[in-house]
Chains A and B, each alone.
Chain A
Amino acid sequence: DAKTTQPNSMESNEEEPVHLPCNHSTISGTDYIHWYRQLPSQGPEYVIHGLTSNVNNRMASLAIAEDRKSSTLILHRATLRDAAVYYCILTQGAQKLVFGQGTRLTINP
């Protein structure tokens, strides 16, 4: 599976938008971009996924660069419950997820 690079940590304020970046310069044409998040002492939770076009769902938006070598997860209005480790993962299906270190997001009240 192609590798992703994410910042170790980020900090934001409650009710502000958060942009979480992910670099994946070796992405192949059939790789999907997945985002999962893990709250403390819990199993990961699916957030969003995409292939080429930007995607929106009730949790977040995924903006994918035109060359697909990077993407950004957007939380439109962060709450304290969004504090978690966010993982950007590439896979050719969802059949095998290889987790990197992710980005630890801290939300300040």
Chain B
Amino acid sequence: GAVVSQHPSWVICKSGTSVKIECRSLDFQATTMFWYRQFPKQSLMLMATSNEGSKATYEQGVEKDKFLINHASLTLSTLTVTSAHPEDSSFYICSAYEGLLKQYFGPGTRLTVL
């Protein structure tokens, strides 16, 4: 099956700093990628839909100035958490739409903000 990678797999940062997370589709081109956030013992929450070459579409309640998404190529989307605070600590997961009604998910990035 198709493979999606994320980097880094985990990151610890100080409050007020920015963190960038990369999501790559390794063996297919993805016109659409998605970003999710998951808090402990909760389900995934869709944050935004990222289309190559255009602005991301954010879900209601997600601050677009805080969570910057860039989808510069058909295989790479990035999520930057700006001015991170402890409440932003979470498991961030991306997915890529491969077509044929399937999404492939990355392994996730665990962000801890001190």
Q: Mark A33-57, 1 if CB is under 8 A from B, else 0.
A: 0101010011111100100000000
With beta carbons under 8 angstroms apart, the residue of A41, A49, A87 that contacts B102 is A49
Summarize B's interface: helix, strand, loop or mixed: strand
**Distance A93 CA – B102 CA, assembled complex (angstroms):** 9
Residues of chain A with a CB closer than 8 A to B6's CB? 43
A43 lies within 8 A of B106 (CB): yes
Report how many residues on chain B are interfacial, defined by Cβ distance under 8 Å.
24
- B67 an interface residue at 8 Å Cβ cutoff? no
B34 lies within 8 A of A97 (CB): yes
Residues of chain A with a CB closer than 8 A to B104's CB? 46
Select from chain B the residue with minimum beta-carbon distance to A43: B105
Summarize A's interface: helix, strand, loop or mixed: loop
B101 lies within 8 A of A49 (CB): yes
Number of A-B residue pairs having CB atoms within 8 Å of each other in the complex: 54
Q: Mark B57-79, 1 if CB is under 8 A from A, else 0.
A: 00000000000000000000000
A43 lies within 8 A of B101 (CB): no
Residues of chain B with a CB closer than 8 A to A42's CB? 107-108
B43 lies within 8 A of A100 (CB): yes
B68 to chain A, nearest CB (A): 20
A109 to chain B, nearest CB (A): 24
Residues of chain B with a CB closer than 8 A to A34's CB? 101
Residues of chain B with a CB closer than 8 A to A94's CB? 97, 101-103
7 pairs, CB–CB < 8 Å, chain A vs chain B: A43-B105, A44-B93, A44-B95, A45-B105, A46-B103, A96-B46, A97-B95
Additional A-B contact list (11), CB under 8 Å, known A34-B101, A36-B105, A87-B43:
A43-B107, A45-B105, A93-B101, A94-B102, A95-B32, A98-B46, A99-B43, A99-B45, A100-B43, A101-B43, A102-B43
* Interface, chain A (partner B; CB < 8 A): 32, 34, 36, 38, 41-46, 49, 87, 93-102
